Amino acid sequence: MTTFTLTPHGSLTVTPAATSSPHDFDFLIGRWVIQNRKLKTRLNHSNEWDTFEATGNLRKVLHGRGNIDDFITTFDGQPFEGMALRIFDPGTTLWSIYWSDTNRGTLDKPVVGSFDGNIGRFYSRDTYGGKDIVVMFQWDKTDPAKPVWSQAFSDDAGKTWEWNWYMYFTRPPQQVTFQEPIRVLELRNYLMQPGMTGRFAQYFSDHFVGTQRAQGAMLPGIFTVQGEADRFFWMRGFGDMASRLSFLQGFYGGAVWKGYGREANGMIIDSDQVHLLRPWPEGRVEDVLGNGRYGFVVIDYYYAKAGKRDALLQGLAKVYEPQMKERVSLWVTEMQANEFPRLPVIQEKDLVVVISSFLGEADYREKSPLVEVEGHSVKRETIVLNRVLNR
């Protein structure tokens, strides 16, 4: 097992377990939802706890001898991001775990230790409230699908310990893959503050793409709008309206949005241009957008005369028939009530939307059909999109 000793002069020596391995943290790779239970005050016999949610994501570095993860939440309404760097020393077979966060400009001194089977213990000397203490991190991966991290302080050289922080890890809901059909689609067209589109695209990619997908939304792509420098366009899909509502309640009430939503909203002038759609007669966005293969997307909004939408649909289907299910899909407004009024949507019953995908502008000029629907005089608006690389 992992043990530590303190010399009379206060130096700490950690002895690794015989089973210590560079693969000890493989169970933690990927994304997590983290339920926290943290003592409000420490080393004063307190029994008052704060509880809050965070998210985390771990990836390997240094050819597997190290890893980095993040810890994203909010404290007192302010975004907070922490980072742990873990490095395995093959000479000593000890792990060193370094911590930093948004309140620090440096890495903390490491806690050092190893795993013995399913339990990992890591130690360091520190000071807290003017007291010399020993810090212990403990990992319990008995159930690797629900690991538990905990932290304890000792102010009597390890004779007694106060456990002051617990993190309970669970995987986020299984990511919806693009093998599943999108039956509800949001087309979200934002007007940005002047000159902010590029910065927002990067911010959105860094903080909202992976986290939304991890929580169950399908994001076919994020885009800039050709000819409109201050526009940002993205799509978000769901299997049905019930799963959409569940996602919106969870995501916009969760740690990621609380931590980063205010700054994101500060870059936007208007985010209410959102059409809520369903496929006609049935469509799969992953086929149309090619899982990112197509970088040039054209959206045509057709506004039929009152009561003429279905006839228009039939006419458009004939025009696009050779490309349906491959490059082109037809959509109509989803008329079920929007049960998340915090995010308003546009629901026009006579609207038909055509989404077409192309490899690039030259491909569009060559293969886009000249659309003339016989017997229909309709209003048509076209938006040309350039895909932003999703990280």
Final residue of a domain: which of 136, 170, 204? 170
Burial 81-120 (b: 16+ CB within 10 A, else e): bbbbbbbbeeeebbbbbbbeeeeeeeeeebbbbbbbeeeb
In a domain, 332, yes or no: yes
Task: For residue 341, count other CB atoms closer than 10 A to its CB.
Answer: 8
Structure-block tokens of residue 30? 């990927």
| 96 within some domain | yes
Whether residue 189 is found in the same domain as residue 161: no
Residue 175 counted as domain residue: no
User: How many independent structural domains does the chain possess?
Assistant: 2
Whether residue 139 sits in one domain with residue 208: no
Question: Considering the domain boundaries, does residue 179 fall inside one?
Answer: no
Q: 177 lies in a domain?
A: no
Residues 240 and 110 both lie in one domain: no
Burial of 352 (0-12, 13-18, 19+ CB in 10 A): buried
| CATH assignment of the domain containing 218 | 3.30.70.100
- What CATH number corresponds to the domain at position 159? 2.40.128.20
Predicted pLDDT at 391: 36
Indicate the burial class of 15 (C-beta count within 10 angstroms; 0-12, 13-18, 19 or more): middle
Position 231 in a domain: yes
Same domain, yes or no: 148 and 193? no
Do 288 and 363 fall into the same domain? Answer: yes
User: In the numeric block, which tokens belong to residue 315?
Assistant: 């006419």
Reported confidence tier of residue 179, pLDDT bands at 50, 70, 90: low
- Residue at a domain's end among 116, 139, 170: 170
Domain boundary among 117, 141, 170: 170
Q: In sequence order, what are the beta bridge partners of 33?
A: 55, 170
Domain co-membership, 143 together with 48: yes
Backbone angles phi, psi at 110, to 5 degrees: -75, 155
Give the structural domain span for 66: 3-170
Residue where the block lists tokens 């809050």: 52
Q: Do 200 and 126 share a structural domain?
A: no
Report pLDDT for 100: 93
pLDDT tens digit sequence for 81-108? 899 999 999 999 999 999 999 887 788 8
Are residues 353 and 301 part of one domain? yes
- Asked whether the predicted pLDDT for residue 7 surpasses 90, the reply is no
Whether residues 163 and 196 share a domain: the answer is no
Reported as a pLDDT band with limits 50, 70 and 90, residue 175 is very low
For residue 390, give the DSSP letter: P
Which sign, positive or negative, has the C-alpha torsion 67, 80, 146, 177? Answer: negative
Beta-carbon contacts of residue 17 (< 8 Å; ≥ 6 apart): 1, 2, 114, 115, 116, 117
The pair of three-digit structure tokens given for residue 92, joined into one six-digit string: 């000593």
Task: Answer yes or no: do 263 and 120 share one domain.
Answer: no
pTM value > 0.85:
no
Clarify whether residues 268 and 160 are in a common domain.
no
| 176 in a structural domain | no
Provide the pLDDT for residue 231.
96
- pLDDT tens across 104-128, in order? 778 888 999 999 999 999 999 998 9
- Same domain as 138, residue 240: no
